[in-house]
Chain A
Amino acid sequence: MTKIMGYADRLSLQPGETVGIMASCIGADRFRAEIVRLLNPNAGMGASEYREVAIETPANATYKAREQKIHAGSFGVVPEKWALRGIESFTLQAYVWPTTPKKGARALMGNWAEPGTGFGLALDDKGAAEIRIGGFRLSSGVPMLERRWYLVAASFDAKSGQVKLWQEPIYDKTFHAERPVAVEGKAKASVADKGAPFLFAAWRAGESKTPTGWGRLLTKGHFNGRIDRPRLARIALDRAQIQALASGMLPSGVEEKVLGVWDFSKDISGERITDLSPNRLDGEVVNLPTRASPGHNWTGAEMNWTKAPEQYGAIHFHDDDISDAKWQPDFSFTVPKDATSGFYAAKLVADEAYFYVPFFVRPTRGTVKAKIAFLASTATYTVYANNRSRFVRMLTELYQGRLSMMDNVDILQFEFPEMGVSTYDRHTDGSGVSISSRLRPVTNWKPHGRLWNYCCDLFIVDWLEHTGLGYDVITDHDLHAEGQDLLRPYNVVITGSHPEYWSLEMLDALDGYQRQGGRHMYMGGNGFYWRIAFHPTNPNIIEVRRSEDGVRAWDARVGEYYHQFTGEYGGLWRRQGRAPQVPTGVGFISQGFDACSYYRRTDQSRDPRVAFMFEGVTDEILGDFGVLQGGAAGLEIDCADFSLGTPPHALVVAKSENHSNTYILVAEEINIGHGALDAVQNAAIHADLTFFETPSGGAVFSTGSIAYAGSLPINGFDNNIAKLTTNVLKRFVDDKPFPMPR
Chain B
Amino acid sequence: MFKIDPSRLDVAREFKAKPFGEHSPELQYVLNYMRTRVTPDFHVLVMTEPGKRWVLAHMPTGGGVPRMTNQSFDKLEDAEWHVFKLRWKDITGQDLPID
**B20 lies within 8 A of A408 (CB):** no
Contact code string B60-99 (vs A, CB < 8 Å = 1, else 0): 0111111000000000100110010000000000000000
Chain A contact patch, size range: 35 or more
**B42 lies within 8 A of A397 (CB):** yes
Selected from B21, B49, B64, B66, the residue in CB contact (under 8 A) with A406 is B66
Selected interface stretch from A44-52, A94-102, A298-306, A432-440: A44-52
A417 to chain B, nearest CB (A): 8
A46 to chain B, nearest CB (A): 8
**B52 lies within 8 A of A407 (CB):** no
**A595 lies within 8 A of B47 (CB):** no
**A629 lies within 8 A of B20 (CB):** yes
Chain B residue contacts of A397, Cβ below 8 A:
35, 42
**A404 lies within 8 A of B59 (CB):** yes
Selected from B22, B42, B46, the residue in CB contact (under 8 A) with A658 is B22
Selected from A392, A394, A407, the residue in CB contact (under 8 A) with B36 is A394
A274 within 8 A of B: no
A725 within 8 A of B: no
Contact code string A385-402 (vs B, CB < 8 Å = 1, else 0): 000100111100110011
- A400-439: which have CB < 8 Å to B? 401-408, 411, 414-415, 417
In the docked arrangement, what's the CA distance between A405 and B53, Å? 11
A454 to chain B, nearest CB (A): 14
A270 within 8 A of B: no
**A405 lies within 8 A of B63 (CB):** no
Interface SS, B side: mixed
**A393 lies within 8 A of B44 (CB):** no
**A401 lies within 8 A of B47 (CB):** no
**A43 lies within 8 A of B21 (CB):** no
**B43 lies within 8 A of A402 (CB):** no
Interface SS, A side: loop
Chain A residue contacts of B28, Cβ below 8 A:
661
A425: nearest chain-B partner, CB-CB? B63
In the docked arrangement, what's the CA distance between A362 and B56, Å? 41
**A660 lies within 8 A of B22 (CB):** yes
Contact code string B32-57 (vs A, CB < 8 Å = 1, else 0): 10011101001111111111101000
Chain B residue contacts of A392, Cβ below 8 A:
59, 61-63
Chain B residue contacts of A414, Cβ below 8 A:
63-66
Selected from B21, B36, B43, the residue in CB contact (under 8 A) with A594 is B21
A87 within 8 A of B: no
A535 within 8 A of B: no
Selected from A388, A595, A680, the residue in CB contact (under 8 A) with B63 is A388
**A47 lies within 8 A of B51 (CB):** yes
In the docked arrangement, what's the CA distance between A418 and B30, Å? 38
Selected from B35, B46, B50, the residue in CB contact (under 8 A) with A42 is B50
B54 to chain A, nearest CB (A): 7
**A401 lies within 8 A of B20 (CB):** yes
B46 to chain A, nearest CB (A): 6
In the docked arrangement, what's the CA distance between A680 and B24, Å? 10
**A398 lies within 8 A of B66 (CB):** no
Chain A residue contacts of B64, Cβ below 8 A:
414
**B45 lies within 8 A of A394 (CB):** no
**A406 lies within 8 A of B50 (CB):** no
**A394 lies within 8 A of B42 (CB):** yes
In the docked arrangement, what's the CA distance between A406 and B66, Å? 10
B36: nearest chain-A partner, CB-CB? A398
Selected from B36, B39, B44, B48, the residue in CB contact (under 8 A) with A403 is B44
A304 to chain B, nearest CB (A): 35
**B21 lies within 8 A of A407 (CB):** no
In the docked arrangement, what's the CA distance between A661 and B31, Å? 11
B57: nearest chain-A partner, CB-CB? A406
A211 within 8 A of B: no
A46: nearest chain-B partner, CB-CB? B51
In the docked arrangement, what's the CA distance between A7 and B68, Å? 28
Selected from A394, A398, A448, the residue in CB contact (under 8 A) with B39 is A394
Contact code string B14-30 (vs A, CB < 8 Å = 1, else 0): 00000111110000100
**B46 lies within 8 A of A660 (CB):** no
**A411 lies within 8 A of B21 (CB):** no
* A404-B59, A661-B22 given; A411·B80 CB < 8 A: no
Contacts A42-B50, A402-B80 aside, 17 further interface pairs with beta carbons under 8 A come to: A44-B51, A44-B52, A45-B52, A50-B50, A392-B61, A398-B32, A401-B20, A403-B43, A403-B45, A403-B76, A403-B80, A407-B48, A407-B50, A414-B66, A660-B23, A661-B23, A661-B28
List 17 interface pairs A-B (beta carbons < 8 Å), by A numbering: A44-B49, A45-B51, A392-B62, A392-B63, A393-B62, A398-B36, A401-B31, A402-B20, A403-B43, A404-B45, A405-B44, A405-B47, A406-B45, A449-B50, A595-B20, A660-B22, A660-B23
Residues in B lying within 8 Å of A, measured CB to CB: 19-23, 28, 31-32, 35-37, 39, 42-52, 54, 59, 61-66, 76, 79-80, 83
Nearest 9 A/B pairs, CB to CB: A44-B51, A595-B21, A398-B35, A392-B63, A595-B20, A42-B50, A594-B20, A394-B42, A407-B47
